[in-house]
Amino acid sequence: MSSEPFQNVILLPQTNQLLGLYTIIRDQNTRRPDFIFYADRIIRLLVEEGLNHLPVTPKIVETSTNQKFDGVSFLGKICGVSIVRAGESMEQGLRECCRSVRIGKIVIQRDEETALPKLFYEKLPEDIADRYVFLLDPMLATGGSAAMAIEVLIKRGVKPERIFFLNLICSQEGIDLFHARFPEVKIVTGAIDSGLDENRYLVPGLGDFGDRYYCI
């Protein structure tokens, strides 16, 4: 089972296997094919954990041996929303767990004059207000871009309690921001780093996730 060290955070069980996966992707000497492979494994775990927290209803089915099985069925529809570009790396992991899942995209970039996040583009399912949303972005540092993405979703009618923010690594500062502004949004993560450096990068972090996944 997952532990919950903070009110709105679901932390993956800190097993030796998970620690081994993070050791590989944090290593600056890990080659890009290996980085992608092991990052994808963690992403799949995050998606599975997010699905564990969706509501269900009892459902009885009949098996091939003509017996009754007391199971459950998911309630409601889901969709993924990636914060471009790094968030797009998590889309395939969601598709592997949820067939024909709909995916939306949000583009947020830092304004060079103000150093603040600025919304450039959004394309979301028309019925997103009726869905549970998995917001996808590998890293939660200061939380500025993710918070703006949450605001976009809320303006489109998504209830905060229906939003799950999936990321591989987050900071305490990012968690605090979400706890203060969006206490009902759940963060599903695999690691909570010790802090941010003078450039606002996660420490120990792993570098620029998007560059390592797509470019290097």
CA 23/CA 42 separation, integer angstroms:
12
Asked if 85 is an active-site residue, the reply is no
pLDDT at res. 2: 41
Q: Is 211 a catalytic residue?
A: yes
Give dist(CA 7, CA 121) in Å, integer. 31
- Please tell me the distance from the alpha carbon of residue 135 to that of residue 83, in angstroms, as a whole number: 8
Q: How many residues does the chain have?
A: 216
Average pLDDT over all residues of the chain: 91
Distance CA 41, CA 65 (A): 35
Global pTM reads: 0.91
Model pLDDT for residues 83-100, shown as the tens digit of each residue: 998 999 999 999 999 988
Q: Cα separation of 95 and 86, whole Å?
A: 16
Annotated active-site residue in 31, 32, 110, 200: 110
Walk me through the domains of the chain, giving residue ranges and CATH numbers.
9-55+74-214 (3.40.50.2020)
Known active-site residue 32:
no
Which one of the listed residues 27, 34, 197, 211 is annotated catalytic?
A: 211
Strand partners, 123: 105
